[in-house]
Amino acid sequence: MQETKSPNKAVVALIVVTLLATVAAGSLYAYNSQNEASPLAQSTNSAANSTIAGNSQTTSTASPASSYVNGTYTATGNYSTPESTESIDLTVTLVDSTITNVSIQNSGNVRESRDYQQRFMHNCTNLVVGKNINSVSLNRVAGSSLTSNGFNSALDQIKADAAA
Amino acid sequence: MPQHRLTFEALGTQWAIESTEPLSDKLQKDIEYSLAAFDKTYSRFRDDSLVGQMAEQAGTYIFPDDFPPLMDMYLKCYELTNGRMTPLIGSVLEQAGYDKSYRLHPQKLSTVPDLHEVIIWDEACTVTTSVPVVFDIGAAGKGYAVDKVTVLLEAAGIDAYVVDASGDIRHRDREQETVGLEHPNDASKIIGVARLQNQSLCASASNRRRWGDLHHIFDPHTLAPVSDVIASWVVAGDTLTADAMATALFLVDDTTKLMETFEFSYVRMFADGRVEHSANFEGELYT
């Protein structure tokens, strides 16, 4: 550990959350110096914007009239905590100027950072494509429980009744 | 890894125990006896079980020693899901037709009572009920039974095994396993894989225990089966936790409180084809 004075943990936590919110919203925060009290927050927030702004701006301002080249774009946002330097990778897929996929990979170096990143990330969703079972080398497959013979025969009986 | 594979039916589903060393006859008997005892206590699908008696009349019931962790898990989940995950869902499942005779013909569904109003638990093995209750531990019981089986295996010196109770899996081995996550709408496909080592994985989905337009995971607040989440997979340190979380994920939108309370990772799939995963999930998703 370095001997520089550690900033208040709560402030750092707030900054991390703010940074994540910035990434999440995909919008470029206009920094309001009047409402921000902490100079640390200012520099961290600005740094976040400068590294991620490209993609963020694309996210929020893409319109059918603009033309962006189709493809997958990746950006890395870095920020410092008292314990470590953390980064978040953001990958965005653009098709006809529309974002079709966003994914975020975290690499929290310390537990606290991972936790914060995780809270932000676990709401990330993607559409499932799926693969054939035979195309992947597996030890086993997990889905819903197989039903018992009793349940299955009852179901068969009901189907038979319904058909009669 | 496994050279030996034992399969049987217990607790209403298929089981497989794979191990590098064979299970002795005595061990097999012990496992069979343990699962039979579990069924005799907790199955709401039989009249002679302890919970079967609880459905008949109010009173004080003494559970076996394995009860406290299970009840504790249910109470925590009850709080964390705002009452949606409750062992009292049993009455709704019965009325919906998922009863001991597998009637599978729904009747009128009645409201589920507040757990704390009808059940008093002494935090040990005694439960006192103020009304007859249909006590259903389907959300966590099978996972817990898997843990009980692994205790027997380890006590007998079996230290490399996979217990797979049809989607509730406990792995212990030096080698990692790759477990396919079955597509809930197409069993010939997987939506991804989980990497599993010395952990438990539980899967839950609404695709098999299904009759008419109903299935076995009901929301007591709406008295309807959950329809937005269609499948979940949870990896945790023990199978009780993994199983309970796999059900809880059907019953909450925001998973933050669950993740703050229990150590687990997860994937869940929604009816519209979206899949959500926790950041700590180790595996791959085909999206």
pLDDT per residue over B221-256, tens digit each?
888 888 899 999 999 999 999 999 999 999 999 999
Distance CA(B176)–CA(A138), nearest Å, equals: 11
Residue A56 pLDDT > 60, yes or no? no
Say whether A142 and B275 touch across the interface (CB within 8 A): no
B166 touches chain A (CB under 8 A): yes
A136 touches chain B (CB under 8 A): yes
Whole-number pLDDT of residue A156: 77
Say whether B162 and A140 touch across the interface (CB within 8 A): yes
What is the residue-level pLDDT of chain B in tens, covering all 287 positions? 568 999 999 998 899 999 999 999 999 999 999 999 999 999 988 889 999 999 999 999 999 999 999 999 999 999 999 999 999 988 878 887 777 777 777 888 888 999 999 999 999 999 999 999 999 998 899 999 999 999 999 999 999 999 999 989 999 999 999 999 999 988 899 999 999 999 999 999 988 777 777 777 878 888 888 889 999 999 999 999 999 999 999 999 999 999 999 999 999 999 988 999 999 999 999 98
Whole-number pLDDT of residue B168: 95
Whole-number pLDDT of residue A14: 41
The type of residue at A156 is: D
Asked if residues A66 and A99 have their Cβ atoms less than 8 Å apart, the reply is: no
Distance CA(B217)–CA(B209), nearest Å, equals: 9
Distance CA(B287)–CA(B283), nearest Å, equals: 13
Residue B97's φ and ψ, nearest 5 degrees, are: 110, -5
Lowest mean pLDDT among A3-12, A75-84, A145-154, B216-225: A3-12
Distance CA(B135)–CA(B52), nearest Å, equals: 8
| CA-wise closest residue to A22 among A8, A41, A9 | A41
**Mean pLDDT for chain B overall:** 92
- Can you list the pairs that B94-100 forms with residues at least 24 positions away whose Cβ atoms lie under 8 Å? B94/B44, B94/B134, B96/B214, B96/B218, B97/B211, B97/B212, B97/B214, B98/B209, B98/B211, B98/B214, B98/B216, B99/B45, B100/B44, B100/B45, B100/B46, B100/B47
Chain B hits for A142, Cβ within 8 Å: 167, 169, 179-182, 194, 201-203, 233
Whole-number pLDDT of residue A59: 37
Residue A61 pLDDT > 70, yes or no? no
Whole-number pLDDT of residue B5: 95
Residue A34 pLDDT > 50, yes or no? no
Distance CA(B103)–CA(B99), nearest Å, equals: 6
Least CB-CB distance to B255: which of A122, A141, A147?
Answer: A122
DSSP β-bridge partners for residue B183:
B186
Asked if residues A103 and A124 have their Cβ atoms less than 8 Å apart, the reply is: yes
Lowest mean pLDDT among A38-52, A100-114, B14-28, B224-238: A38-52
Name the packing angle between helices B25-42 and B141-155 (round to 10°). Answer: 150
Which residues touch B25 (CB under 8 Å, ≥6 apart)? Answer: none
Chain A hits for B179, Cβ within 8 Å: 138-142
Question: Mean pLDDT: which of A33-42, A85-94, A124-133 is highest?
Answer: A124-133
Distance CA(B240)–CA(B69), nearest Å, equals: 9
B28 touches chain A (CB under 8 A): no
Whole-number pLDDT of residue A70: 77
**CA distance between the termini of chain A:** 78
> From edge to edge, which strands make up the β-sheet containing B119-121?
B59-62, B126-129, B119-121
Mean pLDDT, residues A97-104: 60
Nearest chain B residue to A132 by CA: give it.
B189
> Within 13 Å of residue A40, how many CA atoms lie on the same side as its CB?
16
Say whether A151 and B102 touch across the interface (CB within 8 A): yes
Residue with the bigger pLDDT between B57 and A17: it is B57
Token couple for B150: 């692994």
- State CA B80 to chain mean position distance: 17
Among A119, A145, A151, A161, the residue to mutate for chain B (most B Cβ within 10 A): A145
Distance CA(B155)–CA(A90), nearest Å, equals: 47
Whole-number pLDDT of residue A65: 43
Asked if residues A154 and A125 have their Cβ atoms less than 8 Å apart, the reply is: no
